[in-house]
Amino acid sequence: MYKLLVVDDEPLIRKGIISLIDYRELAVDGVFEAADGISALKIAGDEKPDIVLADINMPGMDGLELASRIREMNPGVKIAIITGYDYFDYAVAAIKAGVDDFVLKPVSKADITGILSKLIYELDRDKSTREAVGSIGKLADIGGDRGNESGYRRQIAGVMDEKYRDSEFSLRKLAEEVSLSPGYLSTLFKDIFGITFHDYLTSLRLERAKILLLSSDLKNYEVAAQVGFEDPNYFSTAFKRRFGKPPGEYRGYAGGGK
């Protein structure tokens, strides 16, 4: 079981994030919140959270400084930065500096579910590695926990994070990876994540596309291919539907260059 710290100076956003997810299903048994970096740092020292979701723009201490200082106290902590368009350049720098991931406002249930599942999977993997339990790959690391939904959640999230770049990745292929029937997995997936396999996969691909658009000079069709979209036109349509702007306009608006 893991502890989560949510840091944001806007109470509605902070409370909204906390209310989005059934943390018990995510194997999180302690949820803490802070309105600024200074109080968050104290909580981090006292409670030693395993995961931190922190806004990048806060009074007293911004999210990047907070992330750096928390990681000094606990090198194994997983940190995701919550940011808006105006601060995205800092978020890209943070990823390069070692922050594990980011979420772009406004956040959705799919965003929070996806990022927490990914970070929990990484925590499980790290823990298994430290304990030297198993040596046949990431899925074997969590094999002992496959008898319940928490185990399947982490296993599925790990496979999704590894395979989303494959344009032919499908529910059937995921079912083969986790040794379940496609029909049963479809129902289980919706029960565990609250969204369908297709919606989760699309959300994951679009989130990764954001990083590539703003941290590289890849053309839109190249970004589409790298995150698993076969059809660049469909990628552009899905991207605009999700973020309100087509990829090229989004990149320019957010200060990412071309």
pLDDT tens digits, 157-201: 889 888 999 999 999 999 999 999 999 999 888 888 888 899 889
CATH number of 2-107: 3.40.50.2300
Burial class (CB in 10 A: 0-12, 13-18, 19+), 192: buried
The pLDDT assigned to 119 comes to: 87
Strand order across the 78-83 sheet? 28-34, 2-7, 51-55, 78-83, 101-104
Residue range(s) of every CATH 3.40.50.2300 domain in the chain? 2-107
Question: Nearest to residue 128, comparing CAs of 119, 115, 117, 137?
Answer: 137
Beta bridge partners of 2: 28
Round to whole Å and give the CA distance between 122 and 142: 11
Q: Answer whether CATH 1.10.10.60 is correct for domain 109-258.
A: yes
pLDDT category of residue 52 using cuts at 50, 70 and 90 = very high
pTM: predicted TM-score of the whole model, two decimal places? 0.56
Residue 98 is which amino acid?
G
pLDDT digits (tens, 9 = 90+) for 59-87: 888 888 888 889 888 888 999 988 875 55
pLDDT category of residue 258 using cuts at 50, 70 and 90 = very low
The pLDDT assigned to 139 comes to: 38
3-state secondary structure of 197: helix
What is the chain's mean pLDDT, rounded?
Answer: 81
Residue range(s) of every CATH 1.10.10.60 domain in the chain? 109-258
